[in-house]
Chains A and B, each alone.
Chain A
Amino acid sequence: MRTVIFRFTAPYLTALMVLFSIFVLLRGHNDPGGGFIGGLIAASAFAIYGIACGVVAVRRALWFHPMAISGAGLFFAVVAGLFSLFAGTGFMTGLWIFPVFFGNEVALSTPLLFDIGVYLVVVGGITSIALALEERDTD
Chain B
Amino acid sequence: MAGPSDLAALKAEAMVEGALAPIDYLVVAPVAVCLLFSAVLLMLRKRIDWHPWLAIPGFLALFAIDVLLLLKVALEGPQTMMMGNWKPPFGIAFTVDMLGALFVTTAGFVGLAATIYATFSISRTERRYGFFPFLFLMMGGVSGAFLTGDVFNLYVWFEVLLIGSFGLLILGSEHEQLDGATKYCFLNLVATTLFLITISYLYGLFGTLNMADISGKAGRFEDDGALLTISVLFLIAFAMKAAAFPLNFWLPASYHTPRFVVSALFAGLLTKVGVYALIRMVLMLFPAQHADLATIIGWVAALTMLVGAFGALAQSDLRRLLNYFVIAGIGTIFAGLALTETGGAGEALATAASAATGTDGGMSAAATTGSAAPLVTGTSNLVVGLSGAVFYALHSIVVMTALYLTAGTAARIAGSSSLRGMGGLWRRAPGLAALMLVFLFAVSGLPPFSGFWPKVILVRGAFQSGLPWLGAVILLTGFLMTVASARVFALAFWRDAPEPALAGARDFGPTGQPSPLLSILPLLILAVFVVAAGVSPQWLVTLTEVAARGVVDPAAYVGSVFGGAS
Contacts and interface: CB of A to CB of B under 8 A. Distances in A.
Contacts of B45: 65, 67-68, 71
A89 B19 contact: yes
Given A89-B85, A90-B84, A81 B32 contact: yes
A97 B153 CA distance: 29
Interface string A55-91: 0000000000101101111110111011011001111
B39 to A, nearest CB: 4
Given A89-B20, A91-B83, A74 B42 contact: yes
Given A85-B22, A91-B94, A74 B38 contact: yes
Given A67-B42, A75-B40, A82-B32, A90 B130 contact: no
Q: Which of A72, A73, A77, A78 has the most CB of B within 10 A?
A: A78
B81 A91 contact: yes
A44 interface: no
Given A67-B45, A68-B43, A74-B42, A91 B19 contact: no
A79 B37 CA distance: 12
Contacts of B82: 90
Contacts of A78: 32, 35-36, 39
A70 B91 CA distance: 27
Contacts, number: 67
B141 to A, nearest CB: 13
B144 to A, nearest CB: 12
Given A90-B20, A90-B85, A75 B25 contact: no
A84 B20 CA distance: 10
Contacts of B39: 71-75, 78
Contacts of A93: 84-85
Contacts of B130: 67
Interface in B91-106: 91, 94
Nearest to B40: A75
B355 interface: no
B73 interface: no
A79 B16 CA distance: 21
Given A67-B130, A74-B35, A92 B40 contact: no
Contacts of A88: 19-21
B227 interface: no
Interface in B74-119: 81-86, 91, 94
A88 B439 CA distance: 45
B284 interface: no
A71 B41 contact: yes
Given A67-B130, A78-B32, A85-B25, A90 B81 contact: yes
B133 interface: yes
Nearest to B566: A90
Nearest to B35: A78
A94 interface: yes
A77 B46 CA distance: 22
A92 B38 contact: no
Contacts of B35: 74, 77-78
Contacts of A90: 16, 20, 81-86, 91
The 6 closest A-B pairs by CB, nearest first: A71-B42, A88-B19, A75-B39, A74-B39, A71-B43, A90-B85
30 contacts: A65-B46, A68-B42, A68-B43, A68-B45, A70-B42, A71-B38, A71-B40, A71-B43, A73-B39, A75-B36, A75-B39, A78-B32, A78-B36, A78-B39, A79-B36, A81-B28, A82-B32, A84-B85, A85-B22, A85-B25, A88-B19, A88-B21, A89-B19, A89-B20, A90-B16, A90-B84, A90-B85, A91-B25, A91-B81, A92-B83
Interface of B: 16, 19-22, 25, 28, 32, 35-36, 38-43, 45-46, 81-86, 91, 94, 130, 133
Given A78-B36, A91-B81, 15 more contacts: A67-B42, A71-B39, A74-B39, A74-B42, A75-B36, A77-B35, A78-B35, A79-B36, A85-B22, A90-B16, A90-B20, A90-B82, A90-B84, A93-B85, A94-B84
Interface of A: 65, 67-68, 70-75, 77-79, 81-82, 84-85, 88-94
